[in-house]
Amino acid sequence: MRLTINDIAKKANVSKSTVSRVLNNSGYVNKETREKIEKVIKENAYYPSAQARSLSKRESNTIGVIIPEADNSFFGEVLRGISEIADENGMTLIFCDTNNNVIKEKRALDMIIMQRVKGLIFTPVNDHSNDEVEQKLKQKLRALNIPTVLLDRGIENSEWDGVFFENYKSAYKATEILINEGHKKIGVITGDLNLKIGRDRYRGFLDALKDYNIPALKKYIYIGNFSVEKAYQVSKQFLEDNDLPDALLTSNNRTTLGLLKALNEKNVLPGKDIAVIGIDNIEVLDILGYKISCVARDTVEMGRLAMRLLLERFENPKKERENCIMPFKINLKGSEKKL
């Protein structure tokens, strides 16, 4: 039977509070009493649970992580980076997937409150541009009263640290590459335009066309939502209409996958029949022989950065809010061309 603090106190003939002070190394206990308690602990192989110690000391080494898409390779790589730094610092992770659902997001935040975590890394379901929804989320985060780092998706007028991506610049540069290849009919499969990251990438696409005097043809603007399914549907439609653009920008890894699924069904080859460049690298495509050009980011490093920001906030709670912007790198593999 597992020994309790009460059992230790009885065996050492001291009070429970004295045992607690020894276990937590807090408060004065004379040398003789301390040695007596430590002897009982050693003889009975007593180890206090981490949860009990965190409750008694009002602290924890547990970090909450809330993301919207557990099955998205982007978030899988981000989690790898978070876990790497957490492990190095003796931290434990509690992970929640909201599946892009506001109700699940609320439940996840409620669970985080009950778990008494030390800090939170959080990707909101959306950018909460609706004032009422935004205020409720902010109230919920403030109620946590713990260091919080926003990841990939921000909150308007945020008061929390964050790690984000150069969404506008990455889309602008990708479109510019297609323009410099000589393509004139350039299309896009957008991301979710209800999200700021989706709007920023779309705006980068449009501004690049405008700056180079290339018309943004409505028929080549396909509205997606960052999912494989939606990208596949819109791609199937323009392939069936037999009116392909010369080149196409895809707005994230899943959008690229949806496009490729549709192109493969019609035997349309990227880099030959249509030029394609995407935002985000998809490592598995290289393994399968699909050389899809992209503007990529170090997703694992985004996770590391988020965890490091959290650790810095633990050490210095009053430091100024910090936003880290992850730069992109160009990775051309040939699909930006059309033969």
Q: What is the pLDDT along the chain (339 residues), one digit of tens a residue?
A: 456 788 888 888 998 888 887 776 666 788 888 888 888 887 776 655 544 444 444 457 899 999 999 889 899 999 999 999 999 999 999 999 999 888 899 899 988 877 889 999 999 987 655 667 778 888 888 888 899 999 999 888 889 999 999 999 999 999 999 999 999 999 999 999 988 999 999 999 999 999 999 999 999 999 999 999 999 999 999 999 888 999 999 999 999 999 999 999 999 999 999 999 999 999 889 888 889 999 999 999 999 999 999 999 999 999 999 999 999 999 999 999 988
Beta strands per DSSP E along the chain: 62-67, 92-97, 119-122, 148-151, 161-165, 186-189, 221-222, 247-250, 275-279, 293-296, 323-326, 329-331
Give the C-alpha separation, 105 to 1, whole Å: 40
Q: Given this model, what pLDDT does residue 257 score?
A: 97
Two structure tokens written together for 38: 């430590």
Please work out, in degrees rounded to the nearest 5, the angle formed at the alpha carbon of residue 258 by the alpha carbons of 253 and 264.
120
Q: Given this model, what pLDDT does residue 25 score?
A: 63
Please give the C-alpha separations between residue 255 and each of 207, 226, 252, 279, in angstroms, as whole numbers.
21, 6, 5, 9
CATH code at 5-57: 1.10.260.40
CATH code at 167-296: 3.40.50.2300
Q: Given this model, what pLDDT does residue 158 score?
A: 87
Q: Given this model, what pLDDT does residue 56 score?
A: 46
In the chain, domain spans: 5-57, 62-165+299-326, 167-296
CATH topology for 62-165+299-326 is Rossmann fold (3.40.50)
Q: Given this model, what pLDDT does residue 27 score?
A: 65
**What is the amino acid identity at position 108?**
A
| Within this chain, domains 5-57 and 62-165+299-326 share the same CATH topology | no
Q: Given this model, what pLDDT does residue 194 score?
A: 87
Give the C-alpha separation, 110 to 106, whole Å: 6
- Residue 325 neighbours by CB distance under 10 Å: 12
Please provide residue 92's backbone torsions phi and psi, each rounded to the nearest 5 degrees. Answer: -110, 140
